[in-house]
């Protein structure tokens, strides 16, 4: 580590991992200690920040940095403070230890997303100490509750405090700008310009209750099992977005393989560990995740339920919902648990150019490309108040690191040199945004 920026980002990442801001879902989370830490680290360099508490312990942090041209629309730079749970018995390192081993920082949140939180803080702290101003106003947001639907975080902030984001036109956040090695060593850097939409739903089968020893042609458990089986076994048609076509054309160019727009799936193998996630962005998906029914072995229950995690491509929400209904038939009721929009923006414009140039300046051989994310980010909430969002938390990764498996996975870790690459790229981007 050759300078204070690089040393600071590593220390910040380690220290934040050691604050277990675990979000268990169903409102059971607490970001207070993380929020206090962020505020203190900003205050050390004279940056004031405000905590917005949406519920006891559910904390969002906002700081505003004045740019050199205050007439331009502002940029929101955001991260989230919460992490998913981790069972220490499954890990080969303390998930809340922030240990450096084998050139990596280990711990829950190392990738999702205390690495980016650390990069944001490190850049702001350097600029405050050296008197650097960004070219435009920045709204820095650290949200609560991203890991459980953003109810206490970005959704609450955008609904209850939209004034915080007034005059902002664009935003950047997590899961973008990371490298994927393809072909004979070419590095693609995937910048997130699109997200699938979400429809989590409960399926409800109603039948006739009765004794388990008798014949029952209206068994709710049988009905829900058949519906779940049909959904789980359904082959969704391929649907290729503009984003997917650009990405796969770049993959074909980098690997010398054939690009066939009628079927992009043969190129998935070139993407290594990220193929599982990218493959899910070539179609709508619906995965059964929960089943519930009954209370006694010899009682046929009147009701049985299942939960489905549905994800739809931009522009295909109607097709998704219609298909689910056709698959399960008219007798199964559908209750929506959560719904959120899909996003897709152009891979062009001044902000995208700044991202691409920041990558190229750090890795002249790097190839920036757009991609569509199978999950979702806090950009969805900001989109509803007119802010265009991208995923840009840059990382240069080892070719053999299965990056996507570490998100919410065991032994989550981030390469130290990748984090250093990222903080330099992020500073470059923000200085030219």
Strand-pairing partners, residue 55, are: 58
Give the CATH number of the domain where residue 238 resides. 3.30.70.360
CA angle 288, 290, 296 (to 5 degrees): 130
Among 288, 312, 340, the domain-final residue is 340
- Residue 84, pLDDT > 70, answer yes
Report the phi/psi class of residue 46: left, alpha or beta, with left for phi > 0 and alpha for psi in -120 to 50: left
For residue 361, tell me if it sits in a domain. no
CA angle 326, 240, 169 (to 5 degrees): 105
For residue 354, tell me if it sits in a domain. no
Q: What is the pLDDT of residue 2?
A: 64
Q: Distance (Å, rounded) from C-alpha 189 to C-alpha 178?
A: 5
Q: What is the pLDDT of residue 407?
A: 84
The verdict on 160 and 285 lying in the same domain is no
The verdict on 282 and 403 lying in the same domain is no
Instruction: Please provide the distance, in angstroms rounded to a whole number, between the alpha carbons at the two ends of the chain.
Output: 26
Q: What is the pLDDT of residue 384?
A: 96
What is the total count of domains within the chain?
2
DSSP class per residue in 154-209: HHHHHHH-GGGGTTEEEEEESS-SEEEEETTTEEEEEEEEEE-EEEEEEEEEE---
For residue 398, tell me if it sits in a domain. yes
Q: What is the pLDDT of residue 102?
A: 95
- Helical spans, DSSP H, in 44-92: none
For residue 114, tell me if it sits in a domain. yes
- Residue 425, pLDDT > 70, answer yes
Torsion angle of the four alpha carbons 38, 43, 47, 50, in this order, in degrees rounded to the nearest 10: 60
**44 falls in which pLDDT band (50, 70, 90)?**
very high
Report the phi/psi class of residue 134: left, alpha or beta, with left for phi > 0 and alpha for psi in -120 to 50: beta
- Residue 1, pLDDT > 70, answer no
Q: What is the pLDDT of residue 426?
A: 98
For 2, the 3-state DSSP assignment is coil
Q: Distance (Å, rounded) from C-alpha 108 to C-alpha 183?
A: 31
At 97-149, the pLDDT tens digits run 999 999 999 999 999 999 999 999 999 999 999 999 999 999 999 999 999 88
Among 286, 321, 340, the domain-final residue is 340
Q: Which domain holds residue 419?
A: 4-175+377-431
The verdict on 168 and 210 lying in the same domain is no
Q: Whole-prediction pTM value?
A: 0.93
At 195-206, the pLDDT tens digits run 999 999 999 999
Nearest to 228 by CA among 343, 143, 329, 344: 329
- Residue 55, pLDDT > 80, answer yes
At 363-389, the pLDDT tens digits run 999 999 999 999 899 999 999 999 999
Contacts of 93 (CB under 8 A, 6+ apart): 99, 101, 106, 107, 411, 413
Element (H, E) at 32: helix 32-43
The pairing of strands 58-65 and 138-143 is antiparallel
At 307-365, the pLDDT tens digits run 999 999 999 999 999 999 999 999 999 999 989 999 999 999 999 999 999 999 999 99
For residue 185, tell me if it sits in a domain. no
For residues 57 and 401, the model is more confident at 57
Q: Distance (Å, rounded) from C-alpha 178 to C-alpha 395?
A: 5
The verdict on 251 and 291 lying in the same domain is yes
**403 falls in which pLDDT band (50, 70, 90)?**
confident
The verdict on 217 and 311 lying in the same domain is yes
For residue 128, tell me if it sits in a domain. yes
Q: What is the pLDDT of residue 401?
A: 87
The verdict on 12 and 144 lying in the same domain is yes
The verdict on 153 and 19 lying in the same domain is yes
The verdict on 125 and 233 lying in the same domain is no
- Residue 405, pLDDT > 90, answer no
For residue 370, tell me if it sits in a domain. no
For residue 353, tell me if it sits in a domain. no
The verdict on 207 and 164 lying in the same domain is no
User: Percentage of the chain with pLDDT > 70?
Assistant: 100
The verdict on 105 and 170 lying in the same domain is yes
The verdict on 171 and 199 lying in the same domain is no
Q: Distance (Å, rounded) from C-alpha 218 to C-alpha 221?
A: 9
Counting every residue written for the chain, the total comes to 433
The verdict on 144 and 67 lying in the same domain is yes
Task: Give the chain's largest Cα–Cα span.
Answer: 80
Give the CATH number of the domain where residue 95 resides. 3.40.630.10
Give phi and psi for 364, each to the nearest 5.
-60, -25
User: Average pLDDT of the chain?
Assistant: 96
Q: What is the pLDDT of residue 13?
A: 98
Nearest to 378 by CA among 112, 174, 106, 93: 174
**78 falls in which pLDDT band (50, 70, 90)?**
very high
Q: Mean pLDDT across the stretch 228-237? A: 97
């Amino acid at each position: 580590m050759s300078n204070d920026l690089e040393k600071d980002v590593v220390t910040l990442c380690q220290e934040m991992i050691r604050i277990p801001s675990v979000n268990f879902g169903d409102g059971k989370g607490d970001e207070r200690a993380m929020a206090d830490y962020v505020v203190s680290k900003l205050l050390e360099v004279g940056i004031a920040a405000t905590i917005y508490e949406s519920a006891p312990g559910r904390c969002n942090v906002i700081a505003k940095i004045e740019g050199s041209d205050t007439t331009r629309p502002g940029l929101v730079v955001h991260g989230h403070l919460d992490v998913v749970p981790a069972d220490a018995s499954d890990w080969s390192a303390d998930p809340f230890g922030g240990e450096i081993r084998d050139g990596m920082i280990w711990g829950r949140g190392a990738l999702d997303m205390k690495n980016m939180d650390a990069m944001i803080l490190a850049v702001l702290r350097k600029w405050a100490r050296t008197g650097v101003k960004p070219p435009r106003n920045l709204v820095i947001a650290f949200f609560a509750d991203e890991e459980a639907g953003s109810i206490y975080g970005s959704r609450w902030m955008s609904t209850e405090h939209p004034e915080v984001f007034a005059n902002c036109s664009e935003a950047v956040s997590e899961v973008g700008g990371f490298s994927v090695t393809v072909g004979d060593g070419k590095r693609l850097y995937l910048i997130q310009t699109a997200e699938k939409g979400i429809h989590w739903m409960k399926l409800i089968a109603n039948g006739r209750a009765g004794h388990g020893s008798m014949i029952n042609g209206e068994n709710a458990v049988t009905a829900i099992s058949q519906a779940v089986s049909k959904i789980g076994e359904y082959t969704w048609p391929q649907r290729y977005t503009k984003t997917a076509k650009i990405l796969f054309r770049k993959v074909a160019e980098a690997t010398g393989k054939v690009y066939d727009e009628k079927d992009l799936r043969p190129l998935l193998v070139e993407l290594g560990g990220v193929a599982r996630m990218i493959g899910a962005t070539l179609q709508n998906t619906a995965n059964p995740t929960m089943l519930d029914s009954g209370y006694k072995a010899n009682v046929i229950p009147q009701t049985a339920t299942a939960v489905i995690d549905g994800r739809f491509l931009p522009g295909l929400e109607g097709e998704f919902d219609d298909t689910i209904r056709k698959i399960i038939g008219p007798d199964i009721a559908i209750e929506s648990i959560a719904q959120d929009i899909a996003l897709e923006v152009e891979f062009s414009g001044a902000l995208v150019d700044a991202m691409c140039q920041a990558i190229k300046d750090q890795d002249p051989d790097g190839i920036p490309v757009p991609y569509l994310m199978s999950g979702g980010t806090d950009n969805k909430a900001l989109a509803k108040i007119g802010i265009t969002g991208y995923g840009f938390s840059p990382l240069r990764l080892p070719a053999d690191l299965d990056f996507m498996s570490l998100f919410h996975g065991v032994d989550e870790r981030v390469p130290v040199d990748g984090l250093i690459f990222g903080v330099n790229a992020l500073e470059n981007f923000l200085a030219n945004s």
